[in-house]
Each structure stands twice: as C-alpha cells, then as structure tokens.
Amino acid sequence: MFVDIAKIVIQAGNGGNGAVSFHREKYVANGGPDGGDGGKGGDVVFVVDDSLNTLVDFKYKRKFVAESGEGGRGKRCSGKGGADLVVKVPRGTLVKDANTGRIIADISGDEPVILAKGGRGGWGNTHFATATRQIPRFAKPGIPGERFELLLELKLIADVGLVGFPNVGKSTLVSVVSEAKPKIANYHFTTLSPVLGVVKIAEGESFVMADIPGLIEGASEGAGLGHQFLRHVDRCRLIVHVVDVSGVEGRDPAADFELINAELQNFDEELSRREQIVAANKCDLATPEQIEAFRQYVTEKGYAFFEISAATRQGVDELVRFVYRKLQELPPVKRYEAEALSEEEIAAGRKQELQITVEDGVYVVDAPWLLPALTGVDMEDYESLQYFQRVLRTSGVIDQLEEMGIEEGDTVVLFGYAFEYLR
C-alpha cells in the first residue's frame, strides 16, 4: 500500500524531578542538602531509511513517545537521562505543523533531525542552599518534553519525473531503462503508486527516474488519482512529458500535452517553468504525418523533442543520454527550508514556557528561550548586566515577577544564578 501523507503526534521525554535529600553519615552533624538533579528526557529524532518508500507504517502507529528522565537521588546523584526515540522515515519526507502547515523540517539528508527536545531535569535541593537558607526542603520538578502534532508528507526525490496521461507508456519506459519492474497493462490507472528506477549511463554515471501515475484532466483539483501524486513532481529537476503520438485511443497528442501542462501549472506555478523534454511514444504505431505534425507543434513551443517507442527501445538510448547531459546543467534536487515561527506562535510559546514558582520566598524562573541571552552575559560587567536586565524586562519576566508580588531584596534564581531583586 502506497501512503504519502500521515498525521502523527510526537512527545519527547519529560525531565526527571530533582531530589530533596540531606547528607546522613555517622558522626557527621549537619551534613547539608545533597539532592541530585533529575535526568534529561529523551529527544524524538527523525532519520532517513532508504529501505522505506512509503509512509504506510504511520497509518497504524500514530503516537511516538520518548523515554522520560529518571528522578535525582541523594548523595548528589543525578537521574539517568531518557533514551532518544529514533523514528525512521523515507528520504524526502516533509514535516509540517499539523495545525498551521508551517514547514518544520525536510528529511532528505543523512543527518538525524531532532524534532522534539526532551525536557530538562529539575534541580535537586543542593542548588538552593545559601548562607541564610541552609536547609532547603524543596527541589525543582522536571520540565515536560516538547509535544507536537505533525503532518508528514512524502515528496519523492528523483532527478527526472515522467508525466503524461495514463496508458501512454511511462511505466514501460521506466522498465526498459532501469531495473524497476512496475505492473504494466493496457488499461488506465494500472500504476497505483509512483515508481522509482535508477538509470545507469556508465560506471559512476546515473540518475533517478520516477513514473508519476494517474494524471488526468482535473487532477490538480482532485480528479482521479493524479492529485495524490502531483506533489512528487515537485522535487524533480527535469520533467519528461510522455505523449502517445499514435492516437490509437482516439486522443489528440497536442490536446493531451496542453492538458497535462495545465494541471502542472494549476498545482504549482513553478512547475510550469520547470525544464521539460517531450517524448513522443508509440511512434512505431504512428504515421510519419502524425509524428511530423506533433514534432512541429512541440518544437515551435521551444521544447526538445524525441521520437521513441518504449516497447521496442527505438530512440530510448538517445533520450536517456540527452536527459543525463541536461541534468548536468540543472541545479540539485530541491530541498525545503524550515519556516520561521510567526510572531503569534513565538508569543504563545513564550507565554507557555515561562514558569515562575515560589519556594520559601525564592522566585525560581524557568524560561528555556532565555538561555542563549544569559550565556553571553558577564556577571562582573555592569553594562552586560544592564543588557540582561533589559532582556528580562522586554520578555515579560520582570512584569510577571511583579504581578506575583516580588519585593525588593527577594531572591530570584535563573539557570543556577541567584539575583537580588532591585526596583
């Protein structure tokens, strides 16, 4: 079964809770706090598996949860971090936010991609000991892991895409130039899924060809099966438009050619500008007049024209060699860039992520998105501290502290740093 769209939920592991513990040892009085930190939750990591060519596995399993971190223990022992969850997908899988459609990642390379980060472990009570608070009886809970509802969309990666009406010979062409063996029969829609084949020119010289099935008039609007497969043309660097020039089924080659191009344009304007070659197939069944009329029609529009018969291999080698040379001039396979969060999404995320708790008069601020700003702050430099104070003000941290009733002189803890609040 070929499935190229799936909706799933991923959940990174939660961070383990920090421990409340005090050192206990014979003959040692006032051992002090020794609660360890919780372990980090596991990430959800997507990797390419080239043995997969469909998203059918996600039809039956839709929720993926990474392992949570363990809680801290006494003697300053940190909890064990949760194991990452590795999710294998076909090369060319596009990951989108299911609610907004925003592109999050394009899983096309060999590098693993972290899509949900595990929560940080909570601090043990060791972190909260001060000269005036020597017996902190509280610790920090772990941070929940990220959770996302995702839409997976497979866009096959191929250098060349074969397009054309059903039964024009696309599957036959793929079968004679590569090792791919699609089902071939003399009726419409015999190909029910895209077929990829590697076309070898010589040692170290090859390209990937895809048969894009089911295109008919109205495919871009959902007619027939074509609307399911048009997305797979999107990455192709070159389009080979296969047309039945013989007219044995009573069709007009020129009209078919224009209809398919119109469907490509209606689906994506950019596709109408993609480099295209025309292969007039079944020329062994056509008259010289039919071939010449269609040749003139196509060349006047500026397209390269090849007269072929996939069934007898007539003209096929010349077409393949020309395609390979043309590919050397074209840019690499298209890859999508991750789209930035909108201002509304950023604001909502910050509001969600900012958590302030009060423990024994200490205000503990948890705001992961502030960590990069704090990393570059020099605590000994006045101007650097002034900058960080402005960040705290503009990000809403100080406003929320004031809403919670913080007083001058109260202690604020942020990422392990303790500050005295001053108005």
178, part of any domain: yes
Predicted pLDDT at 224:
41
Q: Are residues 394 and 415 in the same domain?
A: yes
Of 327, 360, 384, the residue that ends a domain is: 327
Q: Are residues 166 and 271 in the same domain?
A: yes
> Are 3 and 117 within one domain?
yes
Does residue 256 lie within any of the structural domains? yes
The residues, any chain, with a CB within 8 Å of residue 403's CB and separated by 6 or more, are none
Q: Within a domain: residue 336?
A: no
Domain range spanning residue 130? Answer: 1-154
pLDDT of 237 reads: 92
Amino acid at 25: E
pLDDT of residue 29: 66
CATH of the domain at 390: 3.30.300.350
Handedness of CA 343, 344, 347, 349 (dihedral sign): negative
- The DSSP call for residue 73 is B
- Inside any domain, residue 378: yes
How high is the pLDDT of residue 67? 97
Q: Looking at the structure, do residues 255 and 318 belong to the same domain, yes or no?
A: yes
Spatial CA neighbour of 208 closest among 320, 340, 287: 320
Residue 404 contacts residue 363 (beta carbons within 8 Å): yes
Answer whether 16's CB lies under 8 Å from 72's CB: yes
**Is 223 a domain residue?**
yes
Same domain, 30 and 89: yes
Residues 6+ apart with CB under 8 A from 317: none
In a shared domain, residues 186 and 202: yes
Check whether residue 287 and residue 228 sit in a common domain: yes
Please, what sign has the CA dihedral across residues 126, 128, 130, 132?
negative
Q: Quick check: 28 and 83 in contact, CB under 8 A?
A: no
Strand order in the sheet with 93-97: 63-65, 5-11, 147-154, 93-97, 103-107
**Residue 231, both tokens:** 């997305």
**314 lies in a domain?**
yes
Q: Which residues pair with 352 in a beta bridge?
A: none
**Residue 83's pLDDT is what?**
97
Is 236 inside any structural domain?
A: yes
Say yes or no: 115 and 28 in one domain: yes
Q: Does residue 78 sit in the same domain as residue 211?
A: no
Q: What's the domain count of the chain?
A: 3
Which residue among 327, 351, 379 closes a domain? 327
Cα-trace Rg, the chain = 31
**Are 190 and 308 found together in one domain?**
yes
In tens digits, the chain (423 residues) has pLDDT values of 567 889 999 999 999 999 989 888 777 667 789 999 999 999 999 999 988 888 989 988 999 999 999 999 998 999 999 999 999 999 999 999 998 889 999 999 999 999 999 988 988 888 878 777 778 887 877 888 889 999 999 988 889 999 888 888 888 999 999 886 655 445 454 455 677 888 999 888 899 998 887 555 444 444 444 456 677 788 889 999 999 999 887 889 999 999 888 888 887 788 878 899 999 999 999 999 999 999 999 999 999 999 999 999 999 999 999 999 999 999 888 888 888 766 566 555 555 567 788 877 888 888 766 665 565 566 676 766 776 777 788 778 888 888 888 888 888 888 767 778 877
- How many of the other CB atoms lie within 10 Å of CB of 304? 16
281 and 168 in a single domain? The answer is yes
Pick from 154, 169, 203: which residue ends a domain? 154
CATH code for position 235:
3.40.50.300
CATH number, residue 48: 2.70.210.12
- In-domain check, residue 333: no
* Residue 347 and residue 316 in one domain: no
